[in-house]
A = this chain, B = another copy of it.
Amino acid sequence: MTKQTVDLLLTNGYLITMDHQMSLYPRGAVAIKDNTIAGVGPAIELEAAYEAATTVDCQNCIISPGLINAHTHAAMTLLRGLADDLRLDVWLYGYMMPVEREFVNHAYCYIGTQLACAEMIRSGITTFCDMYYHEAEVARATADVGMRAVLAQTILKFPSPDATNYDESLDYCRQFIEQWLGHPLITPAVGPHAPYTATPDMLQNCVALAVEFDVPLHIHIAETALEQKNSRSEYNMTVVPWVEQCNLFQAKVIAAHCVHLETPEMDIMRHHQAGIAHCPSSNLKLASGIAQVQKLVELGLHVGIGTDGPASNNDLDMFEEVRLAAFLQKGAFGDPTALPAKTTWGLATIEGARALHIDHLTGSLEVGKRADIAVIRADQIHQLPYFARDPEAVYSRLVYATKAIDVRDVIIDGRVLMRDRVLLTMNEAEVIEEASRFATSIDAFLIAREGNILSKLLAISADFVPQETYEIQVKVALPELIDIDIILSKLGLNPYRLSVRDQYDTYFLFTDQEPSRLRFREDEVKDEQGNLKHTFYTMTLVGQTGEKEFKNSILLTRARYTASATHSLRFYREYFKPSTEQEVIKLRRRCHINFQGTDFAINLDHVSSTMPNSVYLEIKSRTWSAKDALRKADLIAELLDKLEIKTENLLKAEYINSITQE
C-alpha cells in the first residue's frame, strides 16, 4: 500500500479534536494537505498512512484546535494601558473616543491590528472576530500575517473616526465586503456598534447588507444594565425584542457581551441561532456585570469567549479569558460544577466557531476542515505533575494550569505561523517600533491636553466651540430680598426676557494649573407659579477673575467658554480631578434691559450659602474688546448711580471667591 502524500504531519501529541464525540487520542496525529486537515487519529495509524513533506514531533504537547477570540477591537492595542481604573463614561468619552478621533487612520488600524495579531498568535489564537474602523486595513493587516478572522466594519448613527454619517459607513462597508468576500482567511461582516448607537433605519440597512452578501452581523448587545434600563424607558421593551423588531435576526448575528439578558431574550436568540461572545475580563474591568454563561450553554446557545479590545482587558490572552470564564461562573453563581473545564475549552474552540457562524471551516480538528491548530507544551513546571487516571483531565490542565506562553506552534489555514515561539510571517520588531511611534504621539497629545483645562474640555465636547469673551460686571449686596420690579421702576426701563430659576453651581478649583475654574451649572427654570418648567446644564470655563478693575468695583472677567453639559457632574469630577470643589446655590430672578442702546442682564440673586449677606443684585454685560469694556463700565456706573447704590455694599468678587475668602 502506497502512502498518501501530505504537506505536514503533527504527530506524537495528546490530540484533542473537539469533534462531535469529543474524541481524544493520547498519542495522536494530524495530517495536513494544503490548507486542509487530511487525517486525524492515533499517531501510529497516521504515520503508517501518510508520507509528509514535514513532520513535527509533538511529544509532551497537546494538539488542540486553535483558540477563537470571539470578540475584540484588535487595533486598540495602540491604546493599551492608556487610561485604567476609570468609570466607563470617563474612560470612553474622556479618553478612548477623543484619542480615536485624533489618531485613528489607515496606518493606525494596520499597525494596531498587526501588534494584536502577534500577541494573539503567541497565545494560541487562530481566529478572531473584530469590530473597528477602516476595517479594510484591519483585513489587510490580518491577511498579511495569515490569521483567520471575521471582521466587522463599525457603523454608528453619529460621526465616527472613518465617516461623517452612517450612510458613508454603509457604503464603505459594502465596498469592504465586495473586496474581501471569498478570501480564504477573511470573512467580512457588518458591524452596527450597538442598539443604543443605532437608529431602526440604520439597523435595517445593516441587516439588508449582511443578508445580501450572506455575511455575519456583529453587534454589542446588553453589555450594561443601563442599556437595558434605557431601552425599557425609550421603547418599553428590553434590547433583544427591540432589535428583533428591527429584523436584526434575519442576519447571522454575533452578539458581544450579553451580560444583562432576561430569559425570554435568551430564548429569542436561541430561536434565531444568534451567536454570543462572552468577554469576562472586560465585563469585570468595566464593572458591566457577569453574564449567565452556564445558563446560556444549558439553553443550547452557542457561546464563544472573547478578550474584547486590549484597552479594557488589557491583553489578548485567551488562556486568561478561558480560566476566568470557568472560575467566574462557579464563584458568581455559587456552583463549583458550573462551566467545567471540558465545556469551557469547547467555548474557546468549536462553540466559538459556531457563535461566529464559521464552524464549517474551523473550531475542531476534523477531516475536511481548515488546519487551524495550536500545539501546546504540557510539561512545564506549573502544569505538573500529570495524572493519567482520567483522560479528560487534559481539559482541566488546559483551562486551569496552562498559559499562553506554553503555546509552542501555531498553524493557520495549513500554514505554520509560529514555530517554537518564533513568529514566521511578520516582523515583530518593526511593528513594535511603529506602535511606539504612535504611543509617543498619543502621549504628546494627552500631555498637552491634560496640562490645560480648556483643551481637556474641548476633547470631550463635540458641540463645544471655543469662543473667548469678556464679561463686565458689578455685584451689590442688598439688605433684604426685594422685588425686581422695584429696581426696574427706579431705572425707568422696561425689562424683557424675564425669568426665575434655581441655579446649582459647582466650581472645580485647580491648584496645580493656571488660575482657571470650571463651573458646572444646573438651571431649574420656573414658571410664574414657581413650578419647574425645564432644566438645563452648562459647563463653563471661567478665566481669572478681576483681570481689570474699574471704579466702583466693576470687574472685567476674561475667557468664558460655555457649552451645554452633556455628561453628569460625576463624570466631569472624575475626568477633571479638581483639587477642591465649591458649591453655590441661588434663586435667581433675571431680566434684560436696554440702557442707552446696550443690553445688560440684571440678576437678583438670593444666595443660600454662608455669605455675610445673602441677597445680591448683579449687573453684567458681555464684551469683545477692552475699549468696549471701558464704555460699558461707565454705563454700569450710571446705572449704579440711578439705583443709589452705596459703595460699601459693592462686592468686589464673584460669589465663589467671596465664599472662599471666608
A interface residues (Cβ-Cβ under 8 A, vs B): 77-78, 80-82, 84-88, 91, 115, 118-119, 122-123, 281, 283-290, 313-317, 320, 323-324, 326-328, 330-338, 340-341, 381-389, 393, 396-397, 400-401, 403-405, 428, 432, 435-436, 438-440, 442-443, 446-447, 450, 574
Known A283-B331, A327-B281; contact A385-B316, beta-carbon cutoff 8 A: no
Contacting residues, chain B, for A332 (C-beta < 8 A): 284, 290, 332
Shortest Cβ-Cβ A-B pairs, 10 listed: A284-B331, A385-B439, A85-B340, A284-B327, A314-B400, A287-B336, A84-B396, A405-B405, A314-B401, A385-B435
Contacting residues, chain B, for A84 (C-beta < 8 A): 340-341, 393, 396, 400
Q: Among the listed B91, B313, B341, B381, which residue makes an inter-chain contact with A122, where contact means beta carbons less than 8 Å apart?
A: B381
A403 and B404 within 8 A (CB): yes
B317 and A382 within 8 A (CB): yes
Contacting residues, chain B, for A400 (C-beta < 8 A): 81, 84, 285, 313-315
Residue of B nearest to A388 (CB): B443
11 residue pairs of the A-B complex, CB under 8 angstroms, read A77-B385, A80-B384, A86-B337, A122-B381, A284-B328, A286-B336, A287-B335, A315-B400, A385-B438, A387-B439, A389-B447
Contacting residues, chain B, for A290 (C-beta < 8 A): 331-332
Q: Among the listed B82, B313, B396, which residue makes an inter-chain contact with A85, where contact means beta carbons less than 8 Å apart?
A: B396
Known A80-B401, A284-B328, A400-B81; contact A115-B336, beta-carbon cutoff 8 A: no
B91 and A336 within 8 A (CB): yes
Known A91-B336, A313-B400, A389-B446; contact A384-B435, beta-carbon cutoff 8 A: yes
B385 and A330 within 8 A (CB): no
Bound CA span A320–B443, Å = 28
Residue of B nearest to A343 (CB): B85
B439 and A336 within 8 A (CB): no
A21: shortest Cβ distance to chain B, in Å?
18
Most chain-B Cβ atoms within 10 A of its Cβ — which of A87, A118, A320?
A: A320
Q: Among the listed B289, B340, B382, which residue makes an inter-chain contact with A316, where contact means beta carbons less than 8 Å apart?
A: B382
B443 and A284 within 8 A (CB): no
A289 and B331 within 8 A (CB): yes
Contacting residues, chain B, for A283 (C-beta < 8 A): 331
Known A384-B115, A396-B81; contact A331-B436, beta-carbon cutoff 8 A: no
B403 and A403 within 8 A (CB): yes
Residue of B nearest to A323 (CB): B320
Most chain-B Cβ atoms within 10 A of its Cβ — which of A118, A385, A389, A393?
A: A385
A397 and B81 within 8 A (CB): yes
A27: shortest Cβ distance to chain B, in Å?
17
B385 and A436 within 8 A (CB): yes
A381 and B119 within 8 A (CB): yes
Bound CA span A336–B335, Å = 25
Q: Among the listed B118, B314, B403, which residue makes an inter-chain contact with A396, where contact means beta carbons less than 8 Å apart?
A: B314
Q: Among the listed B80, B285, B436, which residue makes an inter-chain contact with A327, where contact means beta carbons less than 8 Å apart?
A: B285
Contacting residues, chain B, for A82 (C-beta < 8 A): 387, 393
Most chain-B Cβ atoms within 10 A of its Cβ — which of A84, A91, A283, A337?
A: A84
Q: Among the listed B313, B387, B393, B436, which residue makes an inter-chain contact with A442, where contact means beta carbons less than 8 Å apart?
A: B387
Contacting residues, chain B, for A381 (C-beta < 8 A): 115, 118-119, 122, 428, 432
A622: shortest Cβ distance to chain B, in Å?
37
A525: shortest Cβ distance to chain B, in Å?
34
Contacting residues, chain B, for A439 (C-beta < 8 A): 384-387
Bound CA span A204–B287, Å = 43
List 12 additional contacts besides A80-B384, A284-B331; criterion CB under 8 Å: A77-B384, A81-B400, A85-B337, A87-B336, A284-B330, A290-B331, A381-B428, A382-B404, A385-B436, A386-B439, A387-B439, A389-B446
Residue of B nearest to A82 (CB): B387
Bound CA span A389–B99, Å = 14
Known A385-B80, A404-B403; contact A331-B119, beta-carbon cutoff 8 A: no
Q: Among the listed B87, B88, B324, B389, which residue makes an inter-chain contact with A450, where contact means beta carbons less than 8 Å apart?
A: B389
Contacting residues, chain B, for A286 (C-beta < 8 A): 330, 336
Contacting residues, chain B, for A428 (C-beta < 8 A): 381
Contacting residues, chain B, for A435 (C-beta < 8 A): 384-385
A299: shortest Cβ distance to chain B, in Å?
20
Contacting residues, chain B, for A118 (C-beta < 8 A): 381
Bound CA span A333–B284, Å = 9
A109: shortest Cβ distance to chain B, in Å?
15
Contacting residues, chain B, for A335 (C-beta < 8 A): 287
Known A115-B381, A384-B435; contact A287-B334, beta-carbon cutoff 8 A: yes
Residue of B nearest to A333 (CB): B287
Bound CA span A290–B333, Å = 11
Known A341-B84, A401-B314; contact A432-B334, beta-carbon cutoff 8 A: no
B382 and A119 within 8 A (CB): yes
Bound CA span A91–B340, Å = 14
Bound CA span A159–B87, Å = 51
Bound CA span A388–B386, Å = 44
B330 and A287 within 8 A (CB): yes
B446 and A337 within 8 A (CB): no
A53: shortest Cβ distance to chain B, in Å?
30
Bound CA span A330–B77, Å = 22
Contacting residues, chain B, for A88 (C-beta < 8 A): 336
Known A336-B88, A400-B315; contact A387-B81, beta-carbon cutoff 8 A: yes
Residue of B nearest to A317 (CB): B382
Residue of B nearest to A281 (CB): B327
A58: shortest Cβ distance to chain B, in Å?
19
Contacting residues, chain B, for A85 (C-beta < 8 A): 336-337, 340-341, 396
A387 and B443 within 8 A (CB): yes
Bound CA span A405–B405, Å = 7
Residue of B nearest to A443 (CB): B389
B331 and A287 within 8 A (CB): yes
A331 and B285 within 8 A (CB): yes
A580: shortest Cβ distance to chain B, in Å?
19
Contacting residues, chain B, for A397 (C-beta < 8 A): 81
Contacting residues, chain B, for A122 (C-beta < 8 A): 381-382
